[in-house]
């Protein structure tokens, strides 16, 4: 139940949820008032709902770390004023933004819920209304002692509340757009919103700290049959990269050919951070299982365990921004910092 006296800040960054067709039939963003007019149900909440609108509104394909920094600062500056925060965001990069915010907001004691929709909120069959209304409900949900039920960065979509840094966009067209393959939903919305309390990380009780130093010198190398030494060399040895996420097959296997392992060794010898994440939707990297995985481990590659690529990228940006030492970053990558990896 929503309690009177509660308050939510709705942060509108853009995305399909707030778009409408222009005269050419293209989806373009419309303003916050237009969006709210389409969801009159919001006025039935007894809590106060304020809003902060980004200008310009963006399609989330244009999201950059600067937007994450703005979001972290907006939340920090208004942290004491609100019980929770709902971020309206395009679905395309929502899992990246939710992963990033999870690392940037340390000691979170209030919900930060990302949501959006596959169909604009003005369309009759929209999924946006349900997503928005339930997100507001979750953002103000309290335990009997007054603490927030979900003091985490999450994504709410298609009746499920997912941990942000465990989520990935897995379907371009279905309303069921997001998955959290390696961690169960934190809540499911039916007649009631049922919280999976055992799986929700408790608040630390310490003051919120925001981390806005991000080092983005990361590349992603997705191995595939037919990949050439030139391509691997360009990505792994490029002077601009401090870290490379290697998206491997299955449980962390890559090409066992000498040329590949040689380039990996060379990158490692240059001091680069090399992180192994699986291309599979679910499951974990285990570099002790197959000879090809062992070869990567012996060449200095760190296991990304069951992290999503989105979480791995965000964790690297955050850790590299916080420390100059690559050895320290490597030692923290497989540690559970905000619940983004199973240990």
Catalogue the active-site residues: 16
- Please give the backbone phi and psi of residue 187, each rounded to the nearest 5 degrees, phi first: -165, 155
If binding means CB under 6 A, how many residues of this protein chain bind ligand ASP? 11
Q: Tell me if 122 contacts ligand ASP by CB under 6 A.
A: no
215 part of the interface to ligand ASP, by CB under 6 A: no
304 binds ligand ASP (CB under 6 A): no
Residue 91 near ligand ASP by CB under 6 A? yes
User: Does 60 engage in binding with ligand ASP (CB under 6 A)?
Assistant: yes
**Could you count the other beta carbons within 10 Å of the beta carbon of residue 63?**
22
Q: Which is nearer to ligand ASP, 114 or 318 (CB)?
A: 114
Question: Under the criterion CB under 6 A, does residue 92 sit at the interface with ligand ASP?
Answer: yes
Nearer CB in complex with ligand ASP: 120/305: 120
Residue from 65, 116, 304, 339 binding ligand ASP (CB under 6 A): 116
262's CB contacts (< 8 A; 6+ apart) are none
CB of 98 to ligand ASP, least distance (A): 13
Q: Cα separation of 343 and 337, whole Å?
A: 10
Strand pairing report for 178-179 and 168-169: antiparallel
Closest CB to ligand ASP among 306 and 310? 310
Contacts of 129 (CB under 8 A, 6+ apart): 38, 39, 41, 121
Q: Which of 43, 55, 61, 228 binds ligand ASP (CB under 6 A)?
A: 61
For residue 313, the surrounding DSSP H or E stretch is: helix 309-322
Q: Does 131 bind ligand ASP (CB under 6 A)?
A: no
Distance CA 95, CA 136 (A): 19
Name the maximum alpha-carbon separation found in the chain: 66
Upstream peptide bond of 88 is cis (omega within 30 degrees of 0): no
Residue 92 or 306 with smaller CB distance to ligand ASP? 92
Site string for ligand ASP, 14-33 (x = CB under 6 A): xxx-----------------
Give Cβ neighbours of residue 68 (< 8 Å, ≥ 6 apart): 97, 100, 101, 104, 214
- Vertex 190: Cα angle to 189 and 196 (nearest 5): 45
Choices 12-20, 245-253, 267-275, 334-342 (CB under 6 A): range interacting with ligand ASP = 12-20
Q: Give the footprint of ligand ASP on this chain (CB under 6 A).
A: 14-16, 59-61, 90-92, 116, 118
């Amino acid at each position: 139940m929503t309690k009177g006296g509660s308050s939510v800040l709705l942060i509108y960054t853009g995305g399909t949820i707030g778009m409408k067709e222009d005269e050419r039939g293209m989806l373009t963003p419309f303003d916050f008032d237009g969006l709210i007019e389409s969801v009159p149900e919001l006025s039935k909440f007894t809590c106060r709902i304020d809003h902060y609108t980004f200008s310009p509104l963006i399609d989330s394909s244009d999201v950059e770390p600067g937007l994450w920094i703005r979001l972290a600062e907006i939340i920090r500056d208004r942290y004491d004023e609100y019980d929770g925060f709902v971020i309206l965001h395009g679905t395309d990069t929502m899992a990246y933004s939710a992963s990033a915010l999870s690392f940037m907001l340390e000691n979170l004691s209030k919900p930060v819920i990302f949501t959006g929709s596959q169909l604009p909120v003005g369309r009759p069959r929209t999924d946006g209304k349900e997503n928005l209304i339930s997100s507001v409900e979750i953002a103000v949900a309290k335990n009997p002692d007054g603490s927030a039920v979900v003091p985490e960065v999450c994504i709410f979509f298609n009746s499920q509340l997912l941990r942000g840094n465990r989520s990935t966009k897995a379907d371009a067209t279905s309303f069921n757009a997001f998955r959290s393959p390696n961690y169960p939903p934190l809540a499911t919305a039916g007649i009631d919103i049922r919280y999976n309390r055992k799986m929700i990380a408790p608040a630390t009780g310490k003051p919120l700290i925001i981390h806005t130093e991000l080092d983005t010198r990361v590349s992603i190398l997705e191995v595939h049959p037919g990949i050439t030494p030139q391509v691997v060399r360009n990505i792994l040895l490029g002077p601009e990269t401090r870290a490379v996420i290697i998206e491997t097959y299955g449980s962390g296997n890559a090409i066992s050919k000498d040329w590949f392992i040689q380039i990996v060794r060379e990158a490692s010898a240059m001091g680069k951070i090399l992180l192994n994440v699986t291309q599979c939707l679910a499951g974990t990297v285990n570099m002790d299982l197959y000879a090809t995985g062992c070869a990567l481990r012996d060449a200095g590659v760190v296991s990304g365990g069951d992290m999503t690529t989105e979480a791995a990228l965000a964790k690297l940006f955050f850790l590299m921004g916080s420390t100059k030492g690559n050895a320290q970053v490597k030692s923290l990558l497989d540690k559970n910092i905000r619940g983004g990896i199973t240990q």
